[in-house]
Chain A
């Protein structure tokens, strides 16, 4: 699937929720269910410093696609991180760099991307794109 198709899929999933509680319960479940990073990569080097919740992110290039793994100490952030990985991971550097990520607005979670949320998610997206750029330049 393309990045846009995955985004649309997520938007459809979120359309089923009636209220904020179901939405957040879903995010919390996503956050709980995902062992998303290998412990060896959970270091200060991979730590994206947000003001409040900490996010660790690791990436590698496999067969021309960037694979991301990540973790956070806050469960809601972790749920958001899981969504970002589902959308961006396993795509080419070009696709990742061009991704608009409009789905965040469509599912009503833009507040998590405003700089004041300080939850490290915005920094994480920036880092994901920077990593993609770096892989593009290497190859």
Chain B
């Protein structure tokens, strides 16, 4: 069971915070929207929406190499956004921050480029049983191409990695470990610092999928010593279509470019191309400029509230919802790790998650249903899918009460 971590009521002005998110005042199916699908994507504060609008109204130009004022201004703004992300993650250098399309794109980049340079016949790549498909498929692909083997760290029924098995699976053949920081389906917070340290004992680099972690917790990439840390902008209250790959300078220098083209070069002749230094080596083509700027605005917003405050408040929501769900007959929570983020997956005896989600939707309550892109994890639990409620700092206990009422109503209707 989850316990409150000795945190008294967190003082956040939720009403004021909610006013920053225009979408939270809309209605869905005639009811006030209750948005509990934050694990899929988070809503955007006005400062992010304004940053994007302002970009197109006042700043639009292509970045880098333009001699005119607009181009220079936006280049500075875009590079400032990179610095904002660098500071937020406490990366050593700004050029260790690569803009990508999102988590999936970042993982594909690393899998492809790292694979080409370092993965060979008979090598092993280690992932965990709780990974999102996006942190399985790129590695599966590399294994097929390079003749390597994908190994899987098992989990226990609570949804925690079995550390002794992890240690056993770290061998001389292991070339890279790819792990999620927080499980999108179970909410499990993995002891990422310890897991990375164990791999480093054997000089094995670790990629961390931080998609679910960055909205809930402070990430210090130097402290945890992640070799690669990846996430998406849109789950961090920023725009869709932009994401981040943090990589240690050493690794980003050693691995080859992923996609090549405009922006990635120093000199080009038909015989040979000399590629640009970091970060441009990995940023082919005109980037998602307003995405980068919007993401920086989102990070500024989150930091104003403070991720420690956010984590504490969300933990209150998690404990409250877990207790309430526990009182409903037939509800079983999937994922009961000791350390959990504000993500609750559950099933209801005899009922299909799709049916529950459909009824809740009629009540204006947005949850996610299905396998959450973690089919191997569903197979482990022997289920088709779950209903997942995932909370953000703009959600409230009152909303959880309405959700519980709605769920009870759905169960009654469907039985």
Contacts and interface: CB of A to CB of B under 8 A. Distances in A.
A73 interface: yes
Contact of B414 (A20, A28, A51, A73): A28
Interface string A36-61: 00000000000000011110000000
Interface string B384-406: 11000000000000000000000
Given A52-B385, A75-B414, A24 B359 contact: yes
B227 to A, nearest CB: 34
Contacts of A74: 352, 354-355
B156 interface: no
28 contacts: A20-B29, A21-B413, A24-B359, A24-B362, A25-B413, A28-B413, A51-B370, A52-B353, A52-B370, A52-B371, A52-B385, A53-B352, A53-B354, A53-B355, A54-B384, A73-B352, A73-B384, A74-B354, A74-B355, A75-B351, A75-B352, A76-B354, A76-B355, A76-B358, A77-B352, A77-B354, A77-B355, A119-B354
A118 B371 CA distance: 12
Nearest to A111: B361
Nearest to A54: B384
Given A54-B384, A76-B354, 4 more contacts: A51-B370, A52-B385, A75-B352, A75-B414
Nearest to B363: A20
Residue of A51, A53, A54 with most chain B CB atoms under a 10 A cut-off: A53
B369 interface: yes
Interface in A112-131: 118-119
**Closest 9 A/B residue pairs (Cβ):** A74-B352, A74-B354, A53-B354, A52-B370, A52-B354, A76-B355, A20-B362, A74-B355, A75-B355
A22 to B, nearest CB: 11
A37 to B, nearest CB: 17
A21 B361 CA distance: 12
A104 to B, nearest CB: 15
Interface of B: 29, 351-355, 358-359, 362, 369-371, 384-385, 413-414
Contacts of A51: 370
Contacts of B29: 20
A118 B358 contact: no
Contacts of A24: 358-359, 362, 413
Contacts of B413: 21, 24-25, 28
Contacts of B362: 20-21, 24
Contacts of B358: 24, 76
Contacts of A75: 351-352, 355, 414
Contacts of A25: 413
Contacts of B384: 54, 73
Contacts of A118: 370
A119 B370 CA distance: 10
B351 to A, nearest CB: 8
Contacts of A77: 352, 354-355
Contacts of B369: 52
Interface string A59-89: 0000000000000011111000000000000
Interface in A91-139: 118-119
Contacts of A52: 353-354, 369-371, 385
Residue of B351, B353, B355, B369 with most chain A CB atoms under a 10 A cut-off: B355
B392 to A, nearest CB: 22
Contacts of B353: 52
A114 to B, nearest CB: 12
Nearest to B410: A24
A51 B357 CA distance: 14
A73 B414 CA distance: 13
A71 B325 CA distance: 30
Nearest to B352: A74
Nearest to A75: B355
Contacts of A21: 362, 413
Residue of B29, B351, B358, B362 with most chain A CB atoms under a 10 A cut-off: B358
Nearest to B351: A75
A72 to B, nearest CB: 8
A54 to B, nearest CB: 8
Contacts of A28: 355, 413-414
A54 B385 CA distance: 11
A52 B29 CA distance: 22
Contacts of A119: 354
Nearest to B361: A111
A20 B353 CA distance: 19
Nearest to A23: B362
Contacts of A54: 384
A74 B358 CA distance: 10
A30 to B, nearest CB: 13
Contacts of A20: 29, 362
A35 B29 CA distance: 32
A131 B396 CA distance: 50
A33 to B, nearest CB: 14
Nearest to B350: A75
A124 to B, nearest CB: 14
